[in-house]
Amino acid sequence: MADSIIEIEQLTKVFYTDEIETHALSGVHMQIKRGEYVAMSGPSGCGKSTLLSIIGLLDTPTAGRYQLNGKEVANLDFADRSRIRNQEIGFIFQSFNLIGDLSVAENVELPLTYRAGMPAAERKARVQESLERVNMAHRMRHYPAQLSGGQQQRVAVARALAGSPSILLADEPTGNLDSKNGEAVMKLLKELHDEGATICMVTHDPRFAAHAERQIHLFDGKVVAEGELSQLMAEA
Ligand SMILES: Nc1ncnc2c1ncn2[C@@H]1O[C@H](COP(=O)(O)OP(=O)(O)O)[C@@H](O)[C@H]1O
Ligand SMILES: [Mg+2]
């Protein structure tokens, strides 16, 4: 399907620790189309972060198929995975993950320095442009510790945007923010989506999930339908 950015089939992930097997994902099927805004929710431990890490090429599945932009990426080696991640994926984390001893501008520029052949002038222009996009250009020379949580998350969004990725992935992006800053980050993601960005966001806040066009519910390592989830939750 030409308009699918993400196509996942029969994806499983098993973690082995101290002779314990954890089946974090047990046969996930999903698709995300270009320009879609998808929210993923489900109870703690159901596999949301594991799935997002695999989609974001931070981790590999135990089995299954994963096509990103029509290319099979489930079994790439570390170097290819890093390169494709750098080009195709913008990641926004709950805890911002900015580097404390780099300035705001340097944090946003860092992923671009791994792009083979991108001239310094283009890097600077992209840093400027993406910080303007999130209204943080005036804090370019600040350091993360000098910013509020909401401002740090906006910088993290700028860092995710700077490389013009195919898809933005956000894992509980409002989890460490108060409700006012959380709302502001949600509004920003909504605007980016309205401008054409493809977004997959993990959240367990139904108010935020409602910003998305489509909601995927996970339960026990599987995608379940909305009705099924409330049933399962009621029975649990
Ligand atoms: N690196 C890991 N090693 C071992 N078990 C893990 C690891 N990461 C996640 N898990 C386990 O996999 C399951 C799914 O975790 P996770 O994807 O973080 O859930 P969620 O994000 O929905 O809360 C949990 O049982 C968790 O303990
Ligand atoms: Mg999680």
For the stretch 213-227, pLDDT in tens is 899 999 999 999 653
Cα torsion 65, 66, 71, 76 to 10°: value is -90
Task: Compute the distance from residue 191 Cα to the ligand 1 centre, in Å.
Answer: 31
- The pick from 20, 44, 50, 94 for probing ligand 1's pocket by mutation, whose C-beta has the most ligand atoms within 8 angstroms, reads 50
Q: Which residues contact 219 (CB under 8 A, 6 or more apart)?
A: 42, 43, 46, 228, 229, 232, 233
Task: Compute the distance from residue 147 Cα to the ligand 1 centre, in Å.
Answer: 30
Protein residues with C-beta less than 5 angstroms from the ion ligand 2 = 48-49
Which range is least confidently modeled, 55-59, 75-79, 147-151, 227-231? 227-231
Q: Which residues contact 96 (CB under 8 A, 6 or more apart)?
A: 144, 149, 152, 153, 155, 156, 176
* Identity of the amino acid at 235: E
Ligand 1 atom index nearest CA of 17: 4
CB 11 within 8 A of CB 28: yes
Nearest one of 158, 162, 236, 168 to 200, comparing CA atoms? 168
Nearest one of 25, 35, 37, 41 to 5, comparing CA atoms? 35
Task: Compute the distance from residue 45 Cα to the ligand 1 centre, in Å.
Answer: 6
At 3 the pLDDT is: 86
Instruction: Report the Cα 8 to chain-centroid distance in Å.
Output: 16
Q: Whose CA is nearest to atom 14 of ligand 1?
A: 47
Task: Compute the distance from residue 58 Cα to the ligand 1 centre, in Å.
Answer: 14
The whole-chain average pLDDT of the chain stands at: 93
At 192 the pLDDT is: 94
